[in-house]
């Protein structure tokens, strides 16, 4: 599969923008971050029909995107406008018909594979470089290694589907009982407080108390402003009086006369400046308090007009009613919660064993992983388990390498299953704990073993030395910028 071109148009624009993607190695490059590299990569995946979230400044719903793709000598034009996806002449309403759209586009009917395609081909800069085998990829898109290998195996037996369905039921039960446990603990705390006849104050009552506090504070601030103003005025009158009297004092060093003025009075100007600054600060505080009091008073007047009943004791009344509900025993809830968690664990292990059993795809995966692990010098005693859930023991650099190896393994196996090379999307392959030469070693594996795949990399590094035939798309914050799109005909 090769993506040749992306066409985009803002809803207020008169002209399309075209991005030429017709190359096996594409680098979306800029020297700085936040220039549109990630947005362009996400826009491509968004146009492919995946549920990709917007970036901070660009809303994909404001654009119409089109991709031109060639796959197994078949040409596809994919257009996405909001939730409508059109592949050639076929229309799909997303997300309801996403599975059907991807089944048609990628040429596969197995839902387990379809639901895991994005997790195999996309390395997300936020979560993708820590996603080893299960979890969220980007947005609400998830990857599950057991589901992936069941899809490769073609395991669509009733037993497997029954296990998956039961696990999903238990997942919902666990969420329900976790919430129930929180409610039971809160209810016990409420009952304890009601028994002690604690005073529950309503939101309005607390606001009224705050209003009284603010008014008392306002009066104190006003008094201090008046006091400082009086001091400033008296000091000014005194300095003016001294100056008018033309008074001199003797310099103790050389007996020369020094005229007494505001400037020659010891620390007079500093004191005056301090008093003035203090007065300005108090005035600002007074204005803020007045504004807060006025806002609250206006809100109270509005509430009197809008509400026909007394809300003074609503919070207290509702709290007391909640305390009278039938008690939920937190101990019983915890017992049930632990039971469901244990049942889920047993079912997951059973499903995992079914997935591994007589599955050549798992054996092939381990062969590929061990080969790349040796090449990237992952310690020989490092436990490699495709189905592990324990990532805590893995350092950042080792985890980065292992995620890379696992993802390449998924891509290689999935491409074998589909019968054609899938594109690979790498968003910011460099990591804070990974040296540049290690990244280059990792990318050399792609260059050597995935030369038939289209590789799209978003990075602040160019990698032109590593990929001499690459195509660089320089990002400079203008591709999705609305302003250049306007007034063009």
Q: pLDDT at position 389, please?
A: 59
C-beta of residue 63 within 8 angstroms of C-beta of residue 8: yes
Q: pLDDT at position 271, please?
A: 81
C-beta of residue 145 within 8 angstroms of C-beta of residue 134: yes
Residue 35 reports pLDDT greater than 80:
no
Give CA angle at 165 (357, 163), nearest 5°.
25
C-beta of residue 462 within 8 angstroms of C-beta of residue 27: yes
β-bridge mates for residue 7, sequence order: 18, 66
Q: What digits encode the pLDDT tens for the residues 450-482?
A: 999 999 998 888 888 888 889 999 888 778 865
Q: pLDDT at position 485, please?
A: 41
Count how many Cα atoms sit within 13 Å of the Cα of residue 460 in the half-sphere of its side chain.
Answer: 9
The SS3 of residue 251 is coil
Q: Where is pLDDT greater, at 12 or 328?
A: 12
Q: Where are the alpha helices (DSSP H) in 84-200?
A: 98-106, 111-114, 117-121, 145-153, 158-195
- Greatest alpha-carbon pair distance for the chain in Å reads 112
Give me the mean pLDDT over the 82-98 stretch: 93
β-bridge mates for residue 79, sequence order: 66, 86
Q: Where is pLDDT greater, at 446 or 394?
A: 446
Where do the structural domains in the chain lie, given as residue ranges?
Answer: 2-155+359-485, 156-197+314-358, 203-312
3-state secondary structure 344-357: HHHHHHHHHHHHHC
Report d(CA 261, CA 245) in Å as an integer. 10
Question: Which of 222, 219, 210 minimizes the C-alpha distance to 300?
Answer: 210
Give me the mean pLDDT over the 338-347 stretch: 90
Residue 307 reports pLDDT greater than 60:
no
The domain made up of 203-312 has a fold known as Helix Hairpins (1.10.287)
Residues 6+ apart with CB under 8 A from 299: none
Pairing of strands 248-250, 90-93: unpaired
Q: What is the CATH number of domain 2-155+359-485?
A: 3.40.50.300
Q: pLDDT at position 168, please?
A: 84
**Out of 33-47, 48-62, 315-329, which region has the weakest mean confidence (pLDDT)?**
315-329
- From the number of C-beta atoms within 10 Å of its C-beta (0-12, 13-18, 19+), residue 28 rates as buried
- From the number of C-beta atoms within 10 Å of its C-beta (0-12, 13-18, 19+), residue 435 rates as exposed
pTM of the model: 0.66
Residue 488 reports pLDDT greater than 50:
no
The SS3 of residue 137 is strand
Residue 280 reports pLDDT greater than 90:
no
Q: pLDDT at position 318, please?
A: 59
Give me the mean pLDDT over the 332-350 stretch: 88
Pairing of strands 455-459, 25-29: parallel
Give me the mean pLDDT over the 92-113 stretch: 91
Report d(CA 266, CA 264) in Å as an integer. 6
Q: What digits encode the pLDDT tens for the residues 183-222?
A: 877 777 766 655 555 554 555 555 667 777 888 888 888 8
Residue 94 reports pLDDT greater than 80:
yes
The fraction of the chain above a pLDDT of 90, given in percent, is: 29
C-beta of residue 99 within 8 angstroms of C-beta of residue 87: no
C-beta of residue 123 within 8 angstroms of C-beta of residue 150: no
Average pLDDT, the chain: 82
Q: What digits encode the pLDDT tens for the residues 379-414?
A: 766 777 788 756 555 666 787 888 888 999 999 999
Element (H, E) at 7: strand 2-10
Element (H, E) at 412: helix 396-418
Q: What digits encode the pLDDT tens for the residues 151-184?
A: 898 876 677 778 888 888 888 888 888 888 888 7
Q: pLDDT at position 129, please?
A: 59
Q: What digits encode the pLDDT tens for the residues 355-379?
A: 888 889 999 999 999 999 899 888 7
Give CA angle at 288 (287, 292), nearest 5°.
115
């Amino acid at each position: 599969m090769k993506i040749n071109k992306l066409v985009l148009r803002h809803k207020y624009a008169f002209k399309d923008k075209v991005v030429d993607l017709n190359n096996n190695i594409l680098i979306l490059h800029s020297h700085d971050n936040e220039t549109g590299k990630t947005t362009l990569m996400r826009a491509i995946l968004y146009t492919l029909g995946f549920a990709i979230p917007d970036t901070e400044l660009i809303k994909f719903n404001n654009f119409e995107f089109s991709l031109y793709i060639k796959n197994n000598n078949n040409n596809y034009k994919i257009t996405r406008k909001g939730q409508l996806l059109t592949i050639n002449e076929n229309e799909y309403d997303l997300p309801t018909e996403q599975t059907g759209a991807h089944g048609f586009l990628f040429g596969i009917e197995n839902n387990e594979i379809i639901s895991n395609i994005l997790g195999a081909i996309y390395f997300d800069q936020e979560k993708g470089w820590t996603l080893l085998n299960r979890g969220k990829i980007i947005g609400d898109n998830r990857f599950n290694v057991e589901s992936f290998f069941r899809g490769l195996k073609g395991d669509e037996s009733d037993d497997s589907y029954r296990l998956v369905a039961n696990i999903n039921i238990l997942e919902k039960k666990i969420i329900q009982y976790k919430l129930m446990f929180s409610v039971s603990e809160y209810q016990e705390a409420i009952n304890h407080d009601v028994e002690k006849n604690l005073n529950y104050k309503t939101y309005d009552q607390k606001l009224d108390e705050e209003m009284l506090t603010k008014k008392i504070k306002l009066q104190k601030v006003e008094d201090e402003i008046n006091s400082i103003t009086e001091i400033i005025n008296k000091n000014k009158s005194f300095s003016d009086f001294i100056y008018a009297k033309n008074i001199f004092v003797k310099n103790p060093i050389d007996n020369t006369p020094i005229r007494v003025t505001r400037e020659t009075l010891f620390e007079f100007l500093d004191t005056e400046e301090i008093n003035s600054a203090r007065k300005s600060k108090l005035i600002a505080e007074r204005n803020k308090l007045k504004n807060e009091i006025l806002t609250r008073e206006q809100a109270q007047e509005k509430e009197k007009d809008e509400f026909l009943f007394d809300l003074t004791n609503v919070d207290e009344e509702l709290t007391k009613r909640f305390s009278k509900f039938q008690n939920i025993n937190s101990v019983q809830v915890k017992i049930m919660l632990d039971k469901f968690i244990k049942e889920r664990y047993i079912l997951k292990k059973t499903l995992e064993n079914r997935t591994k059993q007589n599955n050549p795809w798992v054996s092939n995966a381990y062969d590929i992983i061990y080969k790349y692990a040796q090449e990237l010098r992952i310690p020989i005693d490092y436990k490699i388990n495709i189905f592990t859930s324990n990532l805590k023991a893995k350092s950042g650099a080792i985890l980065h390498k292992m995620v890379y190896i696992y993802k390449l393994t998924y891509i290689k196996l999935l491409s074998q299953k589909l019968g054609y090379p899938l594109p690979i999307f790498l968003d910011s392959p460099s990591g804070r704990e990974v040296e540049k030469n290690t990244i280059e070693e990792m990318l050399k594996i792609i260059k050597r073993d995935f030369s038939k795949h289209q590789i799209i990399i978003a990075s602040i590094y160019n990698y032109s030395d590593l990929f001499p035939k690459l195509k660089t798309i320089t990002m400079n914050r203008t591709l999705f910028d609305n302003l250049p799109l306007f007034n063009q005909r």
